[in-house]
Amino acid sequence: MSLAAPSATAIDGSAFRVGLVAARYNESLVDALLERTMKGLLGAGVKETALILVRVPGSHEVPWAANELARRGRPDVVIALGVLIGGDTSHHEMVGASVSAALQQVAVETRVPVINGVIVTNTRPQAVARCRGKINRGGEFATAALEMAALRRRLS
């Protein structure tokens, strides 16, 4: 058996259930990120009824909801979305690092792949570029999610 992941462009998403956790902090940016992510999933054939969306206050709360969703929602993959923007302190970096580690822990412990879609930037323009500008991070997260969902099916 080949362990190589199938090319994401060739993946038919129609059989997958996808959990989405999205923070509300920096809401307009997260909404734009969510929209692009959903566009990528739906474009690959994922059914709207197969999307389970949970909103939480901020990025700090995303891993808890991702964990609940992975354990109770029977998803093939979970996508975690948030936007952490720097201010006068390095709080965003600290939260970004802890969220990233916690999401990895959820994935390994639940055996449900978790896509880390929590964007960490130093400035708001950098976040705008990645959420609704030239850099389509949402599309990238959708592609990564499909690849991991397909790989999980193949290996289980």
- Catalytic site positions: 91
> Using CB under 6 A, which of 26, 67, 116, 136 touches ligand DLZ?
26
Q: What are phi and psi of 112, to 5 degrees?
A: -105, 120
Query: Closest distance between ligand DLZ and the C-beta of residue 89, in Å?
Result: 9
Count other Cβ atoms within 10 Å, centred on residue 96: 20
Q: Where are the beta strands (DSSP E) in the chain?
A: 18-23, 51-56, 77-85, 114-121
CB closer to ligand DLZ, 21 vs 95 = 95
83 labelled binding-site residue: yes
Residue with tokens 């307009």: 28
Among 32, 38, 50, 59, binds ligand DLZ (CB under 6 A): 59
Contact residue for ligand DLZ among 5, 92, 140, 152 (CB under 6 A): 92
Residue 119 near ligand DLZ by CB under 6 A: no
Measured distance CA(63)–CA(80) in Å, rounded: 8
Residue recorded with tokens 């580690």:
101
Q: Among the candidate windows 54-62, 67-75, 104-112, 137-145, which touches ligand DLZ by CB under 6 A? A: 54-62
d(CA 113, CA 79): 8
Return the range that interacts with ligand DLZ (CB under 6 A); candidates 10-18, 40-48, 91-99, 142-150: 91-99
- Min CB(4)–ligand DLZ separation in Å: 35
Strand order in the sheet with 18-23: 51-56, 18-23, 77-85, 114-121
Which residues lie near ligand DLZ (CB under 6 A)? 23, 25-26, 57-61, 82-85, 91-92, 95
